[in-house]
Every structure is written in C-alpha cells, then in structure tokens.
Amino acid sequence: MAGKSEGQSTTATSTKGSADDGTWSTAEVAELRQTLQGEIDRLTRELAEAQIDLVDLVQDTQDIVGDDQADVGSKAIEREHEAAMAANTRDVLAQYQHALERVDADLQGVCESCGGVIPKLRVQAFPRATLCVACKSAQKR
C-alpha cells in the first residue's frame, strides 16, 4: 500500500520523491509531451523562416551584376551560414520529433542503446535525451 501511495504522490511532486526511479506520472508525461511539442512548433517556424531567408539569399546571389568580389564572397559566406543553420535546425527538429514519438510509445526514460533507465531529471532537463549518461558518454568517445 505504501508503494501505491508513493507512486500516486509523484503527480503532486513532479520532480521529488521518485525522480530517478523511471516511474512517470500522467502529469509528468503530459508536461514532457507539451514541452516537446512546443519545441517542435518553434523549430518548425524557425525552419520555415530560414527557408524564406535562404531563397532570398540565393536570389540575391544570382543578382551579382555590378557587385565586386568582396560582395560576392560576403553573400556566399552568408548563404553558407544560413544553410548550415537551417540544417542544424532540421537535425534538432528531428531529435525532438523522435523524442515525442518515444513519449507516445511510453518509452521516455528508457535508453535506446542499453535499455536502462534514463534518470527522469535528465529527461526533464534535456527533453530530447534518448540515451542514459553512460551510453551518451560512450557515444562521444
């Protein structure tokens, strides 16, 4: 009975008590889902704006008549920078979408590599985390 009430109390104290035992309350999952969806929406808007900026830069680059070499080079660097930023945004967006898919499959807090527990505090601090600390450290090597 004590274990049952302890599990139910995690709803009231979203990060206290069983913060690292891998048990997620309905409220915590809803909050995580909302955080992920908010980031997906934000990144989708950023990507759309970046695409518009890139189209403008490409059109501007095509209009190089009368530009000196410095202007042409500057435009090329700006275009490459914007393209790199858009690619990064796409990558981060994909990570958030993947994390949301994992939440929908009730796999938040489960390491994709070893199947172990990803501490709840880690997921709450870094919502797109899909690896436990040990597997993430091993991946970086």
* The predicted structure's pLDDT at residue 81: 86
Q: Is the pLDDT of residue 8 over 60?
A: no
Mean residue pLDDT of the chain comes to 82
Of 20-24, 84-88, 112-116, the one with minimum mean pLDDT is 20-24
121 domain residue, yes or no: no
Strand, coil or helix: 110 = strand
For the chain, how many structural domains are there in total?
Answer: 1
56 domain residue, yes or no: yes
Measured CA to CA, the distance from residue 3 to residue 18 in angstroms comes to: 11
* The predicted structure's pLDDT at residue 76: 78
39 domain residue, yes or no: yes
60 domain residue, yes or no: yes
For residue 130, give the amino acid letter: T
Strand, coil or helix: 135 = helix
* The predicted structure's pLDDT at residue 10: 34
120 domain residue, yes or no: no
103 domain residue, yes or no: yes
Query: How far is CA 71 from each of CA 52, 59, 61, 76, rounded to the nearest angstrom?
Result: 21, 14, 9, 9
Q: For helices 69-104 and 26-62, what crossing angle results, to 10°?
A: 160
* The predicted structure's pLDDT at residue 1: 38
86 domain residue, yes or no: yes
54 domain residue, yes or no: yes
Segments forming the whole domain that contains residue 35: 26-107
Q: Are the C-beta atoms of 19 and 119 separated by less than 8 Å?
A: yes
Residue 49, C-beta contacts closer than 8 angstroms, at least 6 positions apart: none
For residue 106, give the amino acid letter: D
